Structure 1
Amino acid sequence: MLKEFKEFAMKGNLVDIAVAFVMGAAFNKIVSSFTGGIVSPLIGLVFKSDFKDQKWILQEGVVDEAGNITGEVAVMWGDFLTNLIDFIIVAFVMFLIIKGINKMKKKEEPAPEAPAGPSDNDLLTEIRDLLKK
């Protein structure tokens, strides 16, 4: 059983998937830092506040003595929009990668045509001539 597990774990596809997963997680951190550190502040200039903190308050909360707001109900649309921008960037980069990979693949050459043999009429004519002899 251990031998079978080792064979399963070391298959090429599984190792490739594991490497892709780790690289995807690292790429996600890069994109998140890009949108959080560059895109959000630039958009935040328009709203005059941190873009991720933008929200639509449905119900006001109560401020306790420690200064924390409790009981607030809000739609965190700034955070959602930041995550949506992250997704679009990742999807676009993946599109470019797949497009590049497909371009690098060799185009399959069409199969060579079989050499043309004699037609049915030629074969029938030859058979007829052989039978006449």
Structure 2
Amino acid sequence: MGMLKEFKEFAMKGNVLDLAIAVIIGGAFGRIVSSFVNDIIMPPIGILIGGVDFKDLSVVLRDAYVTEEGREMSEVVLSYGNFIQNVVDFLIIAFVIFLVIKGISLTKKKKEPVPVIPVTPPKSEILLEEIRDLLKKQG
């Protein structure tokens, strides 16, 4: 029973819960960005390059064929368009995350109080002030 209790304490620690929440939100955010890329960014780019959908770009390395035994062998395809799509997805996600982190760091910088450094006058100035005060008392 002790190990179960330790596991429960571990799982309920702030860092583990924060990580779980980050993974869930990150997954949802990834789907949103993928939809943004696929549904909003890529169609105009496809029109600009002649109506080509990046996911359709590929090179057939070997055509489908039927073996002597009658088994169908599927074609071998190099889907470089899908790779391009994933690179674009990654770049947009990375840029958005960069902007979010930059925005968060800017708000943190604004909220931090500016430390006040006390300025102490040089020792000679303090001595001169003491001498002045003594002369005022005497005179």
TM-score, scaled relative to structure 2: 0.66
Determine if contact 1:43/1:51 at 8 Å carries over to the other structure.
Answer: no
* Aligned with residue 96 of structure 1, among 92, 95, 99: 99
* Aligned with residue 75 of structure 2, among 71, 76, 89: 71
Residues 31 and 61 (structure 1), Cα distance of their counterparts in 2 relative to 1, 3 Å cut: same
Structure 2 residue 17 is the aligned partner of structure 1 residue 12: no
SS at structure 1 position matched to 2:33: helix
1:69 to partner: Cα distance:
8.1
CA distance in structure 1 between the partners assigned to 2:10 and 2:113 by the alignment: 31
Tell me the residue number matched to 1:34: 36
- Give the residue type in structure 1 aligned to 2:5: K
Determine if contact 1:54/1:79 at 8 Å carries over to the other structure.
Answer: yes
Deviations 1:32-83 (A, max 9, x none): 11222222222222233322111133x241367xxx98233x3212111111
CA distance in structure 2 between the partners assigned to 1:111 and 1:44 by the alignment: 57
Number of equivalences: 115
TM-score, scaled relative to structure 1: 0.68
- Give the residue type in structure 2 aligned to 1:71: E
CA distance in structure 2 between the partners assigned to 1:108 and 1:8 by the alignment: 35
Structure 1 stretches of 4+ moved >6 Å: 114-119
Give the alignment's Cα RMSD to 1 decimal.
2.7
CA distance in structure 2 between the partners assigned to 1:114 and 1:12 by the alignment: 42
Tell me the residue number matched to 1:81: 84
Determine if contact 1:52/1:82 at 8 Å carries over to the other structure.
Answer: yes
Identity, in percent, stands at 44
CA distance in structure 2 between the partners assigned to 1:98 and 1:78 by the alignment: 30
Residues 39 and 117 (structure 1), Cα distance of their counterparts in 2 relative to 1, 3 Å cut: closer
